[in-house]
């Protein structure tokens, strides 16, 4: 399913190009505060945040990351003022209308987690077109979480499994980690569904309903940088910190 890991290109001598995390997930936070600091409307922060998505996507792909999951719109973000929600719904349209050729050039495939059927028709079309237009790319997967919430994901998986048990298709004894994982929205990522590294920008240290099942053993990193200021160097710094961690997965020895 996944292409060969590309040779990483980096100018940072401290970064080990042979130990790049396969799956990086990012909670992109701080757009509003970035704008506020500049006396700009909040949407200016989201607009700049979209540029950062482009920068970080290319950087991650060049570094050899296999999956980049980005929390773009949560099931809770509908509570924001409608003018801001409307702007956020336009962003995927703006993003894909100009960026799909670059994604294809970098062999990046677009995927989505979340219930996109609740998004405006134009947004759904932009997302579905991008998925189709990049379907043959076998490099990095750019996995957007759109109208995604982890509790919603877990409830849907539970309901689906309960229905299968009730229909006699499976026995409750067959419910295990693997079956749950297969019913999560991340199932299409196969072996790469679980992030190795989760980054949250803007100084907040919360998970905010993002990939709760999948981050059980992820390394967590919190940076004070606002998302619009996050760049290739910030990503490399996060990876360097990751490379200094010792993942034990509940055991005693380093892996």
Name the residues that contact ligand FPP, by CB under 6 A: 28-33, 46, 49-50, 53, 72, 77, 88, 91-92, 95, 202, 227
Whole-number minimum distance, CB 159 to ligand FPP, in Å?
Answer: 27
Is the CB of 15 or the CB of 142 nearer to ligand FPP?
142
32 in a labelled binding site = yes
Is the CB of 116 or the CB of 161 nearer to ligand FPP?
116
Whole-number minimum distance, CB 204 to ligand FPP, in Å?
Answer: 7
Q: What is the largest CA-CA distance in the chain?
A: 60
245 in a labelled binding site = no
Is the CB of 5 or the CB of 80 nearer to ligand FPP?
80
The whole-angstrom separation of Cα 57 and Cα 109 is 11
User: Is 194 known to be catalytic?
Assistant: no
Measured over the CA atoms of residue 177, residue 69, residue 226 and residue 72, the dihedral's sign is: negative
80 in a labelled binding site = yes
Whole-number minimum distance, CB 96 to ligand FPP, in Å?
Answer: 7
207 in a labelled binding site = yes
Whole-number minimum distance, CB 167 to ligand FPP, in Å?
Answer: 37
What is the C-alpha radius of gyration for the chain, rounded to an integer number of angstroms? Answer: 18
User: Is 77 known to be catalytic?
Assistant: yes
Catalytic residue of the set 22, 77, 107, 128: 77
Is the CB of 161 or the CB of 235 nearer to ligand FPP?
235
Distant-in-sequence, close-in-space partners of 45: CB < 8 Å, separation ≥ 6 = 30, 31, 32, 33, 34, 35, 36, 226, 227, 228
Q: For residues 185 and 114, is the Cβ–Cβ distance under 8 A?
A: yes
The whole-angstrom separation of Cα 21 and Cα 5 is 11
Strands 197-200 and 219-222, sheet pairing: parallel
Distances (CA, A) of 1 to 13, 57, 71, 217, 229: 31, 20, 23, 23, 33
- Binding residues are 29-34, 42, 46, 74-76, 78, 80, 200, 206-208, 219
Binding-site residue numbers for substrate are 30-34, 42, 46, 74-76, 78, 80, 200, 206-208
- Catalytic site positions: 29, 77
């Amino acid at each position: 399913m996944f292409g060969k890991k590309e040779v990483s290109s980096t100018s940072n001598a401290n970064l080990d190009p042979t130990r790049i995390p396969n799956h990086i997930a990012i909670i992109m936070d701080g757009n509003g505060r970035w704008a506020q600091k500049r006396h700009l409307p909040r949407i200016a922060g989201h607009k700049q945040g979209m540029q950062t998505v482009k920068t970080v996507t290319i950087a991650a792909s060049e570094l050899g990351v296999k999956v980049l999951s980005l929390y773009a719109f949560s099931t809770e973000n509908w509570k924001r003022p409608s003018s801001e929600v409307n702007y956020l719904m336009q962003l995927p349209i703006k993003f894909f209308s100009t960026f799909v050729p670059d994604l294809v050039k970098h062999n990046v495939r677009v995927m989505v987690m979340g219930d996109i059927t609740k998004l405006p028709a134009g947004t759904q079309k932009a997302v579905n077109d991008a998925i189709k237009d990049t379907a043959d790319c076998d490099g990095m997967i750019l996995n957007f979480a759109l109208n995604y919430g982890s509790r919603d994901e877990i409830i849907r998986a539970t309901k689906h499994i309960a229905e299968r048990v009730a229909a006699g298709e499976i026995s409750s004894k067959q419910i295990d980690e693997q079956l749950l994982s297969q019913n999560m929205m991340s199932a299409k990522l196969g072996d790469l569904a679980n992030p190795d590294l989760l980054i949250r920008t803007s100084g907040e240290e919360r998970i905010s309903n993002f990939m709760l099942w999948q981050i059980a053993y992820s390394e967590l990193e919190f940076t004070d940088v606002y998302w619009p200021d996050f760049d290739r160097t910030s990503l490399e710094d996060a990876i360097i910190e990751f490379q200094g961690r010792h993942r034990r997965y509940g055991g005693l020895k380093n892996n």
